[in-house]
Amino acid sequence: MRAPVFRFAPSPNGALHLGHAYSALINHRMAQAAYGRFLLRIEDIDLGRCRPEQRDAIFDDLKWLGLDWETPVRLQSQHFADYSEALDRLVDEELVYPAFMTRRDVRAFISERQHWPRDPDGAPLYPDLDKQLPAAERQSRLSSAVPFAWRLDVDAALQHAGSPITWFETGSGPDGETGTVNAEPAAWGDVVVARSDIPTSYHLAVVVDDAVQEITDVVRGLDLFHATAVQRLLQDILGLPVPDYHHHRLILDQDGRKLSKRHGDTGLASLREAGATPADIRRRIGIE
Ligand code: GLU
């Protein structure tokens, strides 16, 4: 049997905090317990916000915590060709469509309506106007220089996938979901799969990379539990293998809020500079 493969996949758009330390340490520990491999992946598709210094700071913080990982580390910014190829398949199969409405357009559109469905993160679902565009109009907009996003036609994708979409949860969801979970990707509407300037989005890059890296166990924070539904659908329509998922508790601040990259007092580098040791960090996040 092949060894299980785990990964920690931070985005270098800010400093790592206690929540990242928890996720990285849990991944590493689970990989060791399963005699598996532990990979680090840098999710830097957002070229405007991700900085090489922040990537190096991630390496420093993780080394300081006592972690080691296989090299070379996969940097998503170096693999746009892989995502393009997956995107082309979705375009050819008409499972995505070009979407031209800006966030402001969507806000204006829904402000004229009484009730408008929202996704699990609270954002309004994308209206289906662009999906209905006549082919000639779509073509003329595509040949002009207006920016657009490729959005998943979730209804077409679900039809294409055929059978109900599930995943195996070895951790637990916000309502205690565990074992076989029924995925509800339609709750997210037509999500962005790529942009006109970047041939991917978070969801597409994650599923392509998890497949390329042969990840068997995706271990990450509870905040990504519902997003798993979209990723499972993408895996099915792209014919990619399906890992098991383990969503873990989030580390919260004193006020019970999710940690953000802006809060210096929970940043690993600031804690280190203030004299904390890796053992202090482990104690603080409940990993002895
Ligand atoms: N890059 C994502 C983040 O930093 C995590 C992606 C994942 O674990 O699937 O939130």
DSSP state letter for 123: P
Element holding 246 (H helix, E strand) = strand 244-248
Give residue 35's pLDDT. 97
Token pair, residue 235, equals: 């895996």
Q: What is the CATH number of domain 1-78+252-288?
A: 3.40.50.620
Fold match between domain 1-78+252-288 and domain 80-210: no
pLDDT at 145: 85
- 97-143 pLDDT per residue, tens: 999 999 999 999 999 898 999 999 999 999 999 999 999 999 999 99
Residue to substitute in 202, 218, 226 for testing ligand 1 pocket (most ligand atoms within 8 angstroms of CB): 202
pTM of the model: 0.95
Kindly report the protein residue whose alpha carbon is nearest to atom 6 of ligand 1: 9
- Residues 255-279: pLDDT tens digits? 778 777 666 678 999 999 999 999 9
Peptide bond into 72 cis (omega under 30): yes
Output the CA 11–ligand 1 centroid distance in Å: 7
Residue 45: which of 193, 216, 188, 191 has the closest Cα? 193
Beta bridge partners of 75: 42
Q: Which token pair is 124?
A: 């309004």
Whether domain 80-210 has CATH 3.40.50.1820: the reply is no
Helix (H, G, I), strand (E, B) or coil at 47: coil
- Predicted confidence at residue 263, as pLDDT, reads 60
pLDDT along the chain (288 residues), means of 10: 95 93 98 98 92 94 98 97 98 98 94 93 96 95 93 98 95 97 98 95 98 98 97 98 97 80 79 96 92
Domains of the chain by residue range? 1-78+252-288, 80-210
